[in-house]
Structure 1
Amino acid sequence: MTTTLGRPATPAAPPAARRRSGFTAMKRSKWRAIVLLLAPFLALYVLAYAIPLCYAVYESFFTEKRSGLGFGAPERVFAGFGNYVKALGMPEFTSGVWRVLLLGVVQVPLMLVIALLLALAIDALANRFAAFMRLVSFLPYAVPGVIAAILWAFLYLGGTSPFVRALQPLGVNLDFLSGGTILWSMANIITWTWTGYNMIIIYSALKAVPRELYEAAAMDGAGPIRTAWSIKIPLVAPALTLTGVFSIIGTVQLYNEPMLLRPFSPAIDANYTPNMTVQNVAFSLNDYGLAAAMAVLLALGTAVLSFGFMRLSGAMTARKAAN
């Protein structure tokens, strides 16, 4: 009699192990989807930002020297932090930095307050008026920045400016392109161009606020101003922080307005802003190491200002919520 022995059955995995296996597979699939969606952005970020920044840092530690009386062949030598020390010691560069900082301290808060007030006003209006107000407020942003600067240049010129002609009967002879006013003339252009853009961001955050909060506030007897101050503004604080960071970065990168107003104003020289100084050093003086050091310093300064503003905004929001 022959006895056939079958293969022993494989024990089934416990339910907990099967759940862990399914969770791991789902987690891997989720991470693959995230990586796939982020891949285009990461590729552009590395190619357009990370690699140029690393190359600028590398270039900032080198300089070129000529032998003899300066007529010999240029020799590339390691300069250490010499370019950074030289950049910080250049009055042209530091004065441009202080100039854009002054512009940012005055113009950025004013622009954000106007954008916030516009967003609150549009949110409180009826739908038919809100759509019209959004269009009118956003329309200046649709004008290209170069065209806007040229347009305002003719509005500032004494011979073509309606503002100058309106002030002359009052005995006021105001030159919008003089050394004392040109910075604020540029601030006006920036505010006119970007207020609508910031308003749309803040208004979008307002539309995401649940309407039940407004109804509860109205039942408690809160008026429109109290509701705006206690509910709307605290809830759109992240949007205000975002627009503030964008505005700080844009202020440090100020370039279009002074370059386009330069032919109209003798107060604007080749080193009026830090970006103009970097361009002048790189392409007029051919000192690429020094220009790279200036660019790195601007990047570091922008990062410090942006993160400092974010921390300050977060602390103020937390304090207001605690009170």
Structure 2
Amino acid sequence: MTTKSITVDPNVRVRKRTVAGRWSGWVFMGPFMLIFLLVFILPIIYSIYLSLYRNPLVGGQIFVGLDNYLRVFSDGQFLQALGRVSVFLIVQVPIMLGIAMLVALAIDSGRLWGKSFFRLSIFMPYAVPGVVATLMWGFMYGTQFGLVGNLNEMFSWSLPNPLSSDLVLASIGNIVTWEYVGYNMLIFYSALRTINPSLYEAARIDGASEITMVWAIKLPAIRGAMVVATIFSIIGSFQLFNEPNIMKNLAPNAITTGFTPNMYAYSLSFSGQQYNYAATVAIVMGIVTMVIAYVVQLRGMRKDI
């Protein structure tokens, strides 16, 4: 009785291992992709679907195409809210990032006594929930019951009301700055710590001052971190919701339901039952945020600036 030997083509083995390797990667990626699809992709698709319809009181849901989008750009309340957060972005973000950068440079310089304490104390406000921070600052802003009112009474001052319609946006900007300076400081400081110390030694040998090293070595080296922090801040500014929504109860005459685009969409959806138009506002704000963040990313990573 004879046995036949079976030879397997090596190319077949390689193909089998390649196919198995491809599927094993998808097995590991599968749980993430499933969650990503359920909590990110599907809500966006559903929002786009809602934005193409209108649900009047009589007649049921009606397909209107791009009519909701045309309505957004002629909606005065939405345009005012968009302009308000744009001003907030232009003013508050540079101040916040500038302070965070100065603090990070001071801690990285090695000449600051107790830098671990300062790093922790400046970062600590980021651990405070936004609602708690807003309530805390809102109490201090009060002219009848808070710190401002106590100072006016104690020293016979007449400090301006931080919750007035003229100053409430700046007051919110102060809260956001207090909350996120430490977060951005940590991004900048982490990037500064990755710089090769030999660059500083070579610059000192050439007679460069500390200011020269900041402009010639540190800032160019952490450009990527600056772009990331700027993009995060842009997204946060256009998503402004918690702080004004909480302060609305403290300053009802200054903050309305349409104070920011997110508050406007929230009011349309949960108070006005206009889910289709609220979805349109959300989609438009997402596109605006994405375009501006993309432009900032392109400009920030260019090598010729």
- Alignment partner of 1:109: what SS? helix
Cα contact 2:106–2:112 (8 A) shared by 1? no
Please give the alpha-carbon distance, in whole angstroms, between the structure 2 residues aligned to 1:28 and 1:204. 40
Equivalent in the alignment of 2:118: 133
Per the TM alignment, residue 282 of structure 1 is displaced from its structure 2 partner at its CA by: 1.2
Decide which of 176, 191, 199 is 1:205's aligned counterpart.
Answer: 191
Larger Rg: 1
Number of the residue aligned with 2:41: 50
| Deviation (angstroms), 1:42 | 3.0
- What amino acid sits opposite 2:246 in the alignment? L
Distance 1:214 1:43 in 2: 47
RMSD over equivalenced CA pairs, Å: 2.9
Report deviation, 1:254. 0.5
- CA-to-aligned-CA distance 1:23-67 (integer Å, 9 cap, x gap): x968974x6676555444433322211110011001100112344
Q: Structure 2: how far apart are the matches of 1:106 and 1:84?
A: 28
Q: Match of 1:110, SS?
A: helix
* Pick aligned residue for 2:247 from 258, 261, 267: 261
CA contact 1:164–1:174 (8 Å) conserved in 2? no
Q: Is the 8 A contact 1:122 1:130 kept in 2?
A: yes
Tell me, in whole angstroms, the C-alpha distance in 2 between the residues paired with 1:242 and 1:28.
37
- Which residue of 144, 161, 164 corresponds with 2:146? 161
1:80-95 to 2 correspondences below 5 Å: 80-95=65-80
Report the CA distance between 1:271 and its aligned residue.
Answer: 0.8
Q: Write out aligned runs for 1:58-137 (5 A).
A: 58-67=49-58, 74-125=59-110, 129-137=114-122
What is residue 4 of structure 1 aligned with on the other side?
none
Which stretch has the larger CA shift, 85-94 or 107-116? 85-94
Distance 1:32 1:207 in 2: 39
1:277 pairs, out of 264, 279, 284, with 264
SS in 2 for 1:177: coil
Shift of 1:172: 4.1
After superposition, what is the alpha-carbon deviation per residue over 1:105-146, rounded to whole angstroms, capped at 9, x for unaligned? Answer: 000111111111111100112587221111011011111111
| Gap change, CA 1:129 and 1:52, over 3 Å in 2 | same
Residue matched to 1:152: 137
Give the counterpart letter for 1:57 in structure 2.
Answer: I
Answer whether contact 2:151 2:157 (CA < 8 A) is retained.
no
Note closer, same or farther for the CA distance 1:283–1:222 as it changes in structure 2 (3 Å cut): same
Query: How far, CA to CA, are the matches of 1:184 and 1:191 in structure 2?
Result: 10
1:248 paired with 2:234, answer yes
Q: CA distance change for structure 1 residues 195 and 271 in 2, over 3 Å: closer, same or farther?
A: same
Q: Which consecutive unaligned segments of at least 5 residues does structure 1 have?
A: 1-6, 68-73
Q: Report runs of 4+ in structure 1 exceeding 2 Å deviation.
A: 7-10, 24-29, 31-45, 125-128, 159-173
Q: Whole-Å Cα distance in 2 between the matches of residues 211 and 28 of structure 1?
A: 46
Q: Which residue of the partner structure matches residue 215 of structure 1?
A: 201
CA distance in 2, matches of 1:139, 1:66: 50
Secondary structure, in 3 states, of the residue corresponding to 2:68?
A: helix
Residue 164 of structure 1 deviates from its aligned partner by 5.1
Query: Given that residues 96 and 272 in structure 1 are in contact (C-alpha distance below 8 angstroms), is that contact kept between their aligned partners in structure 2?
Result: yes
Aligned CA distance change for structure 1 residues 188 and 66 (closer, same or farther; 3 Å): closer
Identity of aligned residues (%): 33
State the Cα distance separating 1:249 from its structure 2 match. 0.5
Say yes or no: does 1:307 pair with 2:301. Answer: no
Deviations 1:276-299 (A, max 9, x none): 110111122211111111111011
Q: After superposition, what is the alpha-carbon deviation per residue over 1:268-323, rounded to whole angstroms, capped at 9, x for unaligned?
A: 011111011101111222111111111110110110111011112123xx124xxx
Q: Which runs of 5+ in 2 are unaligned?
A: none
Partners of 2:25 and 2:183 in 1: CA distance = 29
Aligned partner of 1:174 in structure 2 is 160
Q: Equivalents in 2 of 1:171, 1:100: separation in Å?
A: 32
Structure 2: distance between partners of 1:233 and 1:246: 19
Residues 1-39 of structure 1: per-residue CA shift (max 9 Å, x gap): xxxxxx9998x98xxx9xxx59x968974x667655544
